[in-house]
Structure 1
Amino acid sequence: MTSTNQITIDVDSITVHSNGYVWDFDSDGDSEGWWPWNQVVNAQVSHGTFQGQSSGDDPYIVSTFISADSTKLTKIQIRMKVFTGNAAQLFFITDLDGGFDESKSISFPVQGDGKFHTYTLDMSKVKSWKNVITQIRLDPSETTANFEIDYIRINK
């Protein structure tokens, strides 16, 4: 780290920095609180990535519970590769509601070329990104596909 006033705390396998959340999947077998929730098979953390295969057209993985101030943490970075497909979607839940839905999501194009790409999402552009964000969900592709996630970060 370059800043001397930055604090890092590990809580239940989540790395919580003073400026956000980082899931880097560096330890084999440690999903860092992310779970295959729907239409994802063969999920594992291996060789520094969260890996899986989507088995349908609505695959997603879900984070553990977090407490992210939406006014301070407005960017999400996802470094991943997908082998087919051209769209992904990120959903979130706030402390004022209890479920994932389209109004609390952002879609973004992905390159289904089997190479790592970093996708930066500006959540301040999403009207429902308000209050405290308590959980996020990633749909890595809109079709059946192999995928690998190097990291997911929520930051300023």
Structure 2
Amino acid sequence: MKSLKSGLIVLGTVGLLFLGACSNATQENNSASNTESSTATNTSKTETAKSHGKSEHGDKEHGHGGQVVESGQYHLELVTHKEDKGSHLDFIIEKGEKHEIVSNAKVTAQVQLPDGTQKTLDFKYDAKDKHYTAALPGNAPGQYPVKVTADIGGEKVNGRFTVKQ
């Protein structure tokens, strides 16, 4: 009788350990997929600019080949052109699903130079080409983090980009 009781206790204990191990594996799997899910979500929120040859809608007229940031209802795009004395920057702001050009914004950029110093650029609107332009002087090699701020009728819209020299 004692051996039967001992056998049942051992069998019950092994069963509980097995269930506990299965339960932990399920929690670890759920935890791992929740972590992957939240990492993917956080990545998309902190992602700043993507390079596109054309827009997500497949329209060549909306894609200018630059780095793109979607900020609320605004589509922001920074296109850079290397020149002898620096880079020429074109900044396009479009609003809504129809990508209507925004021409009444006050656009500035804070640029961090490779040596760590900050430079402020003021963009001017080019009515002919329907975008804002500025010049980034200097040819020091490296990455230039750029934070563009557009004030559109009192509404501030920001985009972060990187210019490589």
Q: Name the TM tier (shorter chain).
A: 0.3 to 0.5
Q: In terms of Rg, which structure is larger?
A: 2
For normalisation by structure 2, the TM-score amounts to 0.36
Higher helix share: 2
